[in-house]
């Protein structure tokens, strides 16, 4: 189910980027304003990362089993992220058409995904902008073992303590983001938008879901008793995000609108992920997220994330077409199939072979089989009889 949700998330990201390039997200129509909320795809990815990557650590804390091998964790994360990213990076640099892209220091910043920390932010107006989220992901990868170890030492056997800490991290992230919007200068606000503290709320909520998934109890039972409720809540939240409560009809977003969006966005992401994470065997979830099309999009989601913007920019450059013409459906129809092709090739020829290097024959992974696919990319049959990867 989670691969299907990952497929939804990447399609939302692609659509909102095409909508931005064609200008339709600035239109007044409700449908176009709703399209602009497709940026929720990034928080969905963050929340899924918190859920899937923290779950082995949560199990060790709750059940008293061995703490996961941190060295192997880092090795597998690096093999999952870096090879495909380094492949697409020269293409993205070439298409950026910026003199800054010729500087060795800039290359080093992007190769190491430390570019959001540099004072110069020349990439914000290029196809390289989307890579901020990958930098935030990597920052979370580096922080997670240390954070999990501290929680392991102080919360052994206590799901309640783990939930208190993860909830505290989420609240602290929201407070930090909201306070900055009210008291800081705009340059610093824009700078902090692309750093981990602002997005930590999504990872923390994913970690909380991991704890609940290990000790499901009444929460999972309630979700199972109300199929579709989480998705309805998520859709209602997206509708609210597209209203003047969070998004201005014209002009810049006010501080109050920003605060509403900061609080509402993680709640929408949580409502969308919780049913798939805690009640994956529901027939409703299998039909909605377990269909072959969404599962396939989930399988190639990382490659699609990396390639869709270079393909979009290349198409505009080759056709010498102008941006902001409102031709959303035309551009999407052209861009999506080409991006899918590159993504499938990247997955089969780059991502999968490198992920095989991170596996040890004959040893179980730290994650349960149902979630193994998300961390290793391995094709594995899950209990409901479907392929998770």
Length of the chain: 389
Domain that holds residue 93: 2-376
Give the whole-angstrom CA distance, residue 70 versus residue 133.
Answer: 23
What's the angle, vertex CA 304, arms to CA 356 and CA 240, rounded to 5? 125
> Number of structural domains, the chain?
1
User: pLDDT, tens digit, for every residue of 316-374?
Assistant: 999 999 999 999 999 999 999 999 999 999 999 999 999 998 776 544 444 444 444 44
Q: Which three-class secondary structure state does DSSP give residue 277?
A: helix
pLDDT confidence bin for 281, thresholds 50/70/90? confident
Is residue 10 a part of any domain in this protein? yes
The DSSP code sequence of 64-125 is: --PPP-HHHHHHHHHHHHHHHHHHHHHHHHHHH--GGGG-HHHHHHHHTT-GGGSS--GGGG
Is residue 382 a part of any domain in this protein? no
Using alpha carbons, select from 153, 151, 145, 142 the residue that is nearest to residue 70: 145
Is residue 265 a part of any domain in this protein? yes
Is residue 204 a part of any domain in this protein? yes
User: pLDDT, tens digit, for every residue of 137-147?
Assistant: 999 999 999 99
Is residue 302 a part of any domain in this protein? yes
User: pLDDT, tens digit, for every residue of 99-127?
Assistant: 888 899 999 999 999 999 998 888 988 89
Average pLDDT value for residue range 223-242 = 90
Is residue 385 a part of any domain in this protein? no
What's the angle, vertex CA 57, arms to CA 227 and CA 380, rounded to 5? 60
Is residue 150 a part of any domain in this protein? yes
Is residue 254 a part of any domain in this protein? yes
């Amino acid at each position: 189910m989670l691969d299907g949700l990952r497929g939804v998330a990447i399609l939302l990201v692609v659509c909102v980027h095409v909508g931005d390039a064609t200008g339709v997200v600035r239109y007044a129509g409700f449908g176009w304003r709703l399209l602009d909320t497709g940026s929720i795809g990034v928080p969905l990815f963050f929340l899924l990362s918190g859920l899937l990557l923290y779950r082995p650590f949560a199990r060790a804390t709750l059940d008293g089993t061995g703490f996961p091998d941190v060295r192997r964790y880092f090795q597998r994360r690096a093999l999952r992220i870096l090879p495909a990213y380094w492949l697409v990076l020269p293409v993205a640099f070439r298409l950026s058409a910026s003199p800054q892209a010729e500087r060795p220091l800039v290359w080093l910043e992007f190769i190491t995904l430390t570019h959001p920390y540099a004072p110069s932010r020349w990439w914000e107006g290029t196809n390289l902008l989307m890579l901020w989220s990958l930098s935030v992901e990597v920052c979370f990868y580096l922080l997670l073992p240390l954070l999990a170890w501290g929680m392991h030492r102080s919360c052994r056997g206590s799901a309640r303590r783990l939930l208190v800490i993860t909830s505290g991290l989420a609240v602290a992230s929201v407070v930090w983001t909201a306070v900055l919007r009210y008291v800081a200068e705009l340059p610093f606000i824009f700078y902090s938008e692309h750093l981990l503290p602002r997005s930590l709320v999504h990872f923390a909520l994913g970690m909380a879901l991991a704890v609940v998934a290990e000790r499901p109890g009444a929460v999972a039972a309630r979700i199972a008793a109300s199929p579709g409720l989480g998705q309805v809540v998520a859709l209602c939240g997206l509708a609210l995000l597209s209203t003047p409560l969070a998004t201005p009809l014209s002009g810049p977003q006010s501080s109050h609108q920003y605060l509403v969006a900061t609080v509402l966005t993680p709640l929408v992401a949580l409502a969308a992920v919780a049913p798939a994470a805690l009640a994956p065997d529901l027939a409703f979830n299998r039909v909605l997220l377990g269909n072959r099309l969404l599962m396939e999009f989930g399988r190639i989601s990382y490659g699609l994330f990396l390639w869709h913007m270079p393909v979009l920019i290349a198409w505009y450059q080759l056709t010498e077409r102008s941006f902001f013409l409102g031709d959303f459906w035309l551009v999407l129809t052209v861009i999506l199939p080409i991006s899918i092709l590159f993504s499938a090739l990247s997955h089969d020829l780059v991502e999968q072979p490198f992920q095989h290097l991170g596996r040890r024959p004959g040893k179980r992974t730290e994650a349960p089989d149902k979630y193994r696919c998300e961390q290793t990319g391995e094709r594995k049959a899950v209990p409901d009889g479907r392929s998770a990867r």
